[in-house]
């Protein structure tokens, strides 16, 4: 029987319909880690992308550059468009590419140093945009492989800073606030309790973080990494916690690669909005990792209800 599950934070529904597919093993495929020559790579030394390095990001292993085809730009570059019916405004903000310099670094097997640097650079760039009064939200993301929207093979993350609040974040903020007002507790902290107690969706953990398959997963193997202590804001992590984040991230990546063989994936970081008027009592930052092993269909697009063909419990058992 297909089961309806609800995201306890946003209220969104998913259908877990395992009998439509398959076992977790069915998602293992031949996906070789292609490594092209460095000559035509825009992000390798001498490549055209690297000509506009914003800063060396305080580490010799990572470079930050403006995206050549940005979604958000600083105001002076914006051409205004009129219109009395449709609303249209400036796509103000920033869009950066965070490049791991070594083309041959494998995202599933990053060294502890590179993984720590990556999260540190995310944090630095968050801090940079956070000072701008126009910026509402900053999101660090990663697209891996074509199926997940990556157009360049060279390992790279991205950062989006926008003057609008993404609607998904708005839903999380609203839902977690409602939960807090009713129950007096942070819903994310409660999720941690539940996952630790239940155990069926647990993937791995360390001192500071829990990694588990999300109860209302939208796609097979959707994994959330959540800090165990109540922390609303990714900006305030100290360097020891950043190291710990790098450690659990490496564990999860290693597990995904071992079990699913080089799967395409997206991840994004959800944290408290940049502006100071957001309270952190009810919100708890986290990382959502979505392997892209199944494609979105019309129903998902038309309804916002995702159909997941493998139960999160089965995925977690397979990954453990």
Give residues in contact with Zn ion (CB under 5 A): 41, 43-44, 103, 154, 186, 188-189, 230, 270, 284
Minimum distance from CB of 171 to Zn ion (Å)? Answer: 9
Residue (271 or 311) nearer to Zn ion, CB: 271
Minimum distance from CB of 55 to Zn ion (Å)? Answer: 19
Directed axis angle between helix 167-183 and helix 187-198, to 10°?
Answer: 80
Residue (44 or 110) nearer to Zn ion, CB: 44
Minimum distance from CB of 173 to Zn ion (Å)? Answer: 10
Nearest to 42 by CA among 103, 109, 95, 87: 103
> Where on the phi/psi map is residue 312: left (φ > 0), alpha (ψ -120 to 50), or beta?
alpha
Minimum distance from CB of 114 to Zn ion (Å)? Answer: 14
Residue (24 or 175) nearer to Zn ion, CB: 175
Number of Cβ within a 10 Å radius of residue 320: 13
Map tokens 């940049």 to a residue. 274
The alpha carbon torsion through 138, 143, 148, 151 (nearest 10 deg) reads 110
Six-digit token string for 67: 């995206």
Q: H or E segment at 6?
A: strand 3-6
How far apart, in Å, are the Cα atoms of 293 and each of 9, 30, 129, 297?
A: 25, 12, 33, 13
Minimum distance from CB of 40 to Zn ion (Å)? Answer: 9
Q: H or E segment at 307?
A: strand 306-308
Residue (95 or 284) nearer to Zn ion, CB: 284
How far apart, in Å, are the Cα atoms of 181 and each of 146, 189, 218, 308?
A: 42, 14, 27, 31
Number of Cβ within a 10 Å radius of residue 98: 24
Residue (17 or 189) nearer to Zn ion, CB: 189
Residue (26 or 229) nearer to Zn ion, CB: 229
Minimum distance from CB of 270 to Zn ion (Å)? Answer: 4
Minimum distance from CB of 72 to Zn ion (Å)? Answer: 20
Residue (10 or 111) nearer to Zn ion, CB: 10
């Amino acid at each position: 029987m297909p089961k309806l599950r609800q995201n306890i934070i946003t209220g969104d529904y998913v259908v877990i319909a395992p009998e439509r597919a398959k076992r977790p093993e069915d998602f293992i495929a031949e996906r070789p880690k292609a490594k092209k020559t460095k000559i035509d790579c825009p992000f390798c030394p001498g490549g055209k992308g690297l000509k506009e390095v914003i800063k060396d990001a305080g580490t010799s292993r990572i470079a930050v550059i403006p995206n050549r085809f940005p979604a958000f730009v600083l105001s002076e570059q914006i051409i205004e468009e009129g219109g009395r019916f449709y609303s249209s405004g400036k796509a103000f903000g920033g869009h950066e590419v965070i490049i791991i310099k070594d083309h041959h670094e494998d995202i599933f097997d990053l060294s502890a140093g590179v993984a720590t640097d990556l999260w540190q650079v995310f944090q630095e760039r968050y801090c940079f945009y956070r000072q701008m009064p126009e910026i509402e939200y900053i999101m660090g993301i990663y697209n891996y492989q074509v199926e997940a929207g990556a157009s360049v093979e060279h390992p790279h993350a991205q950062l989006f800073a926008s003057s609008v609040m993404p609607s998904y974040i708005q839903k999380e903020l609203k839902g977690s606030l409602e939960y807090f007002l009713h129950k007096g507790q942070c819903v994310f902290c409660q999720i941690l309790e539940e996952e630790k107690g239940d155990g069926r969706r647990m993937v791995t953990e360390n001192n500071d973080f829990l990694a588990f398959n999300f109860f209302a997963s939208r796609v097979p193997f959707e994994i959330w990494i959540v800090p165990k202590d109540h922390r609303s804001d990714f900006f305030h992590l100290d360097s020891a916690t950043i190291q710990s984040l790098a450690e659990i991230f490496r564990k999860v990546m290693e597990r995904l690669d071992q079990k699913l063989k080089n799967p395409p994936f997206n991840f994004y970081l959800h944290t408290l909005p940049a502006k100071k008027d957001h309270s952190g009592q009810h919100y708890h930052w986290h990382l959502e990792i979505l392997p892209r092993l199944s494609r979105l269909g019309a129903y998902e697009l038309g309804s916002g209800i995702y159909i997941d063909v493998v139960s999160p419990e089965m995925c977690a058992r397979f990954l453990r």
